[in-house]
Structure 1
Amino acid sequence: MSPPVTTSVPTGAELVLHGARLGHPDGAAVSGPVGLRIAPGELLTVVGPSGCGKTTLLRTLAGLLPPLEGRVTQDGVPVRRPGADRALVFQHDALLPWRSVRANVELPLAIRRVPRAERRRTAEEWLERVGLAGHAHKLPHRLSGGQRQRVQLARALAGRPRAVLMDEPFGALDAATRAGMQDLLVEILRGTGATVVFVTHDVDEALHLGDRVALFATGEVLNVPHPRVRDARDAPATEALRRRVLDSL
C-alpha cells in the first residue's frame, strides 16, 4: 500500500499593482493606472464591460504581459515572467486531447520534474477531490464540459500554487452545472491558502464568490457583505451592492 500523501498548506501570495497601466506592448492601453492590493488568501472577483481589460489584468498578474507603466509585485518582488506558483484557469479548459485525464492533471508536476510516483499520487488525490476518481484513464473528449472544467481545476491546484487567476472559468456552463462548480471551487479552496483573482461577467457569481469585488471600469473595490453564503442572495446589503455593480457596467 502506498504511504499517504502529506502536504502542507501553502501561504497565499500578496499581489499588488502599483500605478500599473495595462495593455499590450504593440497596442493601446486598456486601462488607466491601476492601484490594487490583493491580500494573501483573498478571493477577489473582477467585473466590468467587455474590452475593459479584465483578461489583460490576469495576464499581467501572471507575468505574461508587462505593465505599460508602473509595477506589479508578488510579495514585494516584481513580477516579470510566469511562475509555477501562479496558475491560470480559462473559460476553455485547454486540456491536451491526447493525454488522459490523469496525465493532464500530472502535467504541471511533470514540468517541474516531480517523481512519477509522487505526481501520480497527487493527480489521483485531486481527481478524487473534484469527483472524477473513476475517470482518470479517459481522454478529455469523453467528458462533459463540466467534467473537463473539474479536470482543469484539479490540474491548476495540483501544483499547489499560491495564486490562482481565473478567467470566466464557468462562463460556458449551464446554470445548474455552473452553480455546482461554484460550490466545488469554494469547497476545494477552503484550506488551500491560495489567493484567487476571479474574472466574471455574472454579477451574482461575483457577489457570491468574492470577499471583495473590483469594478474594473470605475476602479472601485468593494467589500462583499456575505461572501459564499447562498442564502444571502436576497439580503438587503447584497441587493444594494448588486445595484451598484450593475450601475458600473
Structure 2
Amino acid sequence: MKISVLTPSFNSGKYIKKSIESVLEQSYTNWEHIVVDGQSSDETIDVLKRYSHLKWISEPDNGQSDAMNKAFKMCTGDIIVYLNADDYFYPNAFQIMVNSFYANPDADIVVGNLNIDNCGDLEPSNNATISWKDLSIIKGRFPLNPVSYIYKKEVQIKVGNFPIYEHYTMDYWFLLRAFYFFKPIKIEDYLGCFVFDGQNKTSVITDGFSIQKPIALRFAFYHTPLRFPFVFFKLLIHNRNSSRFSKFVKKVINRISI
C-alpha cells in the first residue's frame, strides 16, 4: 500500500525542512513525497533542492487549493495524505495509518488525533467528528488539519478537485463530501502536529462559521435537498450565528418556550 504525501507550499522556508524530515523519519517506507510550490521568494527552493527523493515543482498558482490539485494529479499512491509545509508527522504515523486500513478493509478514510502547537504550547485535539450530518450543521469539531487523516485515492477522485475559490475552507468542503460519500473511521492515535504560530493562514480566520455556512447550505441544497430546510434552520439558530435576523429568531423561540 503506497502512500502519497502531498505538500502545497509558498514561502515556507521557515518550516518545510521539519515537514520533509518528518516524512523521512517514518518507520513505514512505501511512500512518495510531492511538493507543489507557488514560486516562493524565500529560502524554500533552496531547501527543496537538498532532498533528492522529493518530486517537486515551483511555479505560479492560484493559491493552496490549486497547488493541492496539481499535487494530486502527480501522485501514484494508493492512499493520500496532505502535509502542509508548516506541519509535521510523528514517526510511526504512516504505519498506524496503513495498519488501520488493513484492520478495517471497508474503511475509506482514517481519522486520528493531532496536537496543536499554539506558539509553542501543545494542545491535544482528539474529539473530531466523522459524521457528515454533524459537519452539515457545523456541529462538533471537524478534523482540524490534514495531518490527522488519510484516505483512499478513489475518495478524491469521486469528490473532485478542491475549489480554488475556497481559500480558507477547502478542508471543510472536502470532508463534508468525503464523509457523505465514503466510510470514515476514527482511531485514537496521535498522527502529527498542526503548527499554529499566529502568522500562518489559519491564524487570520476570525469567523470560521461565516465562511463555512455557505458551503454547508450549498451541500445540503445539491446533495440532500429534503434536508435543506432542517440545515437552514439549524444554521440560523446556531450559537455562532451573530446576524440580526438570527438573534431575532432566537429571541422569538425563547419567548415561545417560556
**Please, what TM-score do these two structures have when normalized by structure 1?**
0.27
Which one has a larger percent helix, Structure 1 or Structure 2?
Answer: 2
For normalisation by structure 2, the TM-score amounts to 0.27
Q: With CA pairs under 8 Å and 6+ residues apart, which has the higher RCO, 1 or 2?
A: 1
